[in-house]
A and B are shown apart, each in its own frame.
Chain A
Amino acid sequence: MRRPPGWFILVRRCLLVACDRMLCLCPVCLLAAVPMEPSFTSGDRTVIPDADTDLAPTPDGRIDDRGVRNRRAGDRAVAVPSTSGGSARRVKRTLTTAFSTLLAFQVLLGIVCLLATISVRSQVHNVVRNIAAERQANDEILVDMTNAETGVRGYLISRNQSFLAPYDTGTAALPARFATVEQHLPGDPRLRGRLAAERAEVSAWYRDYARPVIAGATPDPADGKRLFDAFRASQAAVADMLDRHREAKIDELNRTQVGTLALVAGCLVIGLVVGTRTAVVTTRRLVRPLTAVTEAVRSLAHGRLVTRPMPAGPAEVQEVGWSVNVLADQLDRVADERASAAARLQKANDELEAFSYSVSHDLRAPLRAVTGFSHILVEQHADEMSEQARELLNRVERGGQRMGALIDDLLAFAHVGRQELTKTTVHPADIARECLADLSAEQEGRHVETLVEDLPACLADPALLKLVYTNLLSNALKYSRGRDPAHIRIGSHAESGATVYFVSDNGAGFDSRYAHKLFGVFQRLHKSEQFEGTGVGLALAARIIKRHGGQIWADGKIDQGATISFTLPVAAPS
């Protein structure tokens, strides 16, 4: 086999290198050509100017540079952290995927084209190589014929047999030469005709000149020259045709390769143009309006309910914008309603406060007149009255006192509801001991055994927690009045992760069927002749515990004592 010619190797190498470079550069070209970050980052001001989005300001607001319309003049522009919007990012990812796919497709196209080129080139190369072999064989026919002619001419002059040696050699080689030429001859009928003509000229020379000379005749040398010249001309014609044929084949190869290269380059350029255009259009039409909507939603979520996105971009995105506007209107309305409800509530609360203030001040004055003057009457004019009249006046005074106590307790109850909590770490055991000391009058002349256990610290308003313990201990002392000894235990235990504080006694207890009524205002389970009280104490305690975020409940049975338990948030370890 013959090696392909040097120029061919050179061309092939250049082609391979070029293809290789181009394929490597493609991704770089794509990445450089597509304006990835600026056009997708919402906060960046280098976004491609968007002529498609009409951002004309409306009479009732203005439009900021992100296409977000603010409803009221004077409001600050929407200040949203300029992180990339989630939707924009997703679109970017989609676009990146699309570009990668496009790139891969183009690479595949390039490889296919390359393989096709190589295949065509290899076929053409084979043809060219065969033509070269034929051309050589044709040249050797001329050499053999020249040898034969030389031998014949020598023999004609000398009639010496030895001069015929070149003739014999040339004649012997000729059939093989013709066979070689014919073997790979391309199917061109003109070429076959030319070769047949050459063969005919060779036969004519042998028939009309060489063989008669060898047979002893003496033909005219001019005939020999004419015949040989005819052969030479037809041989040159075959050679010329073979050369032209080969050149045509080489041209064909070159054309094929250039065409393939042009195809690949064209595909790449089209891909780049289409990809870039898609990116730009997507950015303009989709990402920017979407980013504007996203920012408006974020602004709404931050509580700026006056924000309204300006619907822009494709119909679907505009629809999202309009929907967000509707949602924002509704949110705004709800917020307005809530604000006015809060205002009404505040007003009601203020009125209630004014009422309780009024109660505090104005209701007690006439009550004091009732208790005061009935007291004075009993004190100053006792001897002018019957025993029964005195007793009735005493009852008037006691009624007034009781009403005063009720008013005071109610006011305290109302006050606890609106008082600010000042929470600190408190030690309930200390508070309980203080309360017991304050309630010492109630223990006078009685046998009371109190047990204050070690109690874990908790987070509470100390004054209010003291009010809780005062009420619970006062109740415990009151309802255990008939016991000797009365047992009062102040303790705690852990229950499912929380600390439960409790105050228990061995007093009169209560009917557990009515346990839920214990914590209601003015709810009493005992007659006031039996145990005095206003029925506010436990309600007050419950209100305080609930305001602390704790729970309170009661356990007990008639004549078997009562236990009031509550939970409080645990104090943070200091």
Chain B
Amino acid sequence: MSVEGLDILLVEDDSNDADLTLYALRDEKVMNSVHVVSDGAEALDFLYCTGSYADRRPAGPPKVILLDLKLPKVDGLEVLKSIKDDPKLRSVPVVMLTSSQEERDVLASYRLGVNSYIVKPVDFKQFEDAIRSAGMYWLFLNRPPVRNSVGSAPRPTSGEAACRAEDASPHGGGL
């Protein structure tokens, strides 16, 4: 089922942190449905099925987005703003997964509508616990709304409408 295709989008520029995150999630049976992108622009391309992700299948949004704050090109807060401003993506839970303990980052994230803010601990055991708890919570405990029922008047924003799960892109049939 294509809707169930992707569980987690991990936006992380540090490959070490990405690997450690994947390792922490190894037992949660989500390994095959985690997609890792390394900067904010790529994350937006992935979410909006543009650029190199124009033909991705399944085209639906992930169940949860783990988002680093400090990213090349487009930073985490901009990605968060874009997601939360889009009625199609607004209901996708976004978990900030970052090293920053700065209060202003926490405040800015919550102001933009982040669902959770996790400071990555240096200690691996604590890190592992944090990632696992967050993954478990958002993937298995949290009950999301039925797709498309949030944002009652869906309207594409600035031509970059989120791709809908049910209508495949006209150019996307080739894959």
Residues of A within 8 A of B (CB): 357, 360-362, 364-369, 371-373, 375-376, 397, 400-401, 403-405, 407-408, 411
Contact = CB atoms under 8 A, between A and B. Distances in A.
B20 A372 contact: yes
Contacts of B141: none
Contacts of B69: 361
B17 A368 contact: yes
A397 B102 CA distance: 25
Contacts of B101: 360, 408, 411
Interface in B76-132: 98-102, 120-125, 127
A365 B98 CA distance: 9
Given A361-B70, A373-B16, A376-B23, A368 B124 contact: yes
B124 A372 contact: yes
B28 interface: no
A368 B100 contact: no
B102 A360 contact: yes
A372 B16 contact: yes
Contacts of A372: 16, 20, 23, 124, 127
A371 B123 contact: yes
- If over half of A's interface residues share one DSSP class (helix, strand or loop), that class is named, otherwise mixed; here it is helix
B14 interface: yes
A371 B24 CA distance: 13
B122 A364 contact: yes
A408 B126 CA distance: 15
Contact size range, B: 10 to 19
Given A373-B16, A411-B101, A367 B124 contact: no
Contacts of B123: 371, 401, 404
A374 to B, nearest CB: 8
A357 B23 CA distance: 27
Q: Which 3 A-B pairs have the closest CB atoms?
A: A404-B122, A369-B16, A372-B124
A360 B69 CA distance: 12
A369 B19 CA distance: 9
Nearest to A364: B99
Given A371-B122, A375-B124, A360 B16 contact: no
Nearest to B120: A368
Interface in B124-148: 124-125, 127
A292 B174 CA distance: 89
Given A357-B100, A360-B99, A368 B70 contact: no
Contacts of A369: 14, 16-17, 20
Interface of B: 14, 16-17, 20, 23, 69-70, 98-102, 120-125, 127
Given A357-B102, A361-B99, A368 B122 contact: yes
A373 B19 CA distance: 9
A367 B122 contact: yes
Contact of B99 (A365, A371, A375, A376): A365
Contacts of A368: 16-17, 20, 99, 120-122, 124, 127
A372 B16 CA distance: 9
Contact of A364 (B23, B120, B124): B120
B98 A361 contact: yes
Nearest to B123: A401
Contacts of B20: 368-369, 372-373, 376
Contacts of A400: 122
Contacts of B17: 365, 368-369
B121 A404 contact: yes
A361 B96 CA distance: 13
Given A372-B16, A400-B122, A405-B122, 6 more contacts: A361-B69, A361-B70, A361-B99, A368-B99, A368-B120, A373-B20
The winner among B20, B120, B124 for most chain A CB atoms within 10 A is B124
Contact of A397 (B98, B124, B127): B124
A363 B17 CA distance: 13
A352 to B, nearest CB: 14
Best-surrounded residue of B20, B102, B122, B123 (most CB of chain A within 10 A): B122
B16 A375 contact: no
A411 B125 CA distance: 22
A407 B124 contact: no
Given A368-B17, A376-B23, A361 B124 contact: no
Nearest to A403: B122
A397 to B, nearest CB: 7
Contacts of A401: 122-123
29 contacts: A357-B100, A357-B102, A360-B99, A360-B102, A362-B70, A364-B122, A365-B14, A365-B16, A365-B17, A365-B99, A366-B16, A368-B20, A368-B99, A368-B120, A369-B16, A369-B17, A371-B123, A371-B124, A372-B16, A372-B23, A375-B125, A376-B20, A400-B122, A401-B122, A404-B122, A404-B123, A405-B122, A408-B101, A408-B122
B23 to A, nearest CB: 6
Contacts of A376: 20, 23, 124
A401 B127 CA distance: 12
A411 B124 CA distance: 20
A366 B99 CA distance: 11
B100 A361 contact: yes
A400 B16 CA distance: 15
Candidate in A357, A372, A373 with the most chain B CB atoms within 10 angstroms: A372
Contacts of A405: 122
A465 B16 CA distance: 38
Contacts of B100: 357, 360-361
Nearest to B100: A361
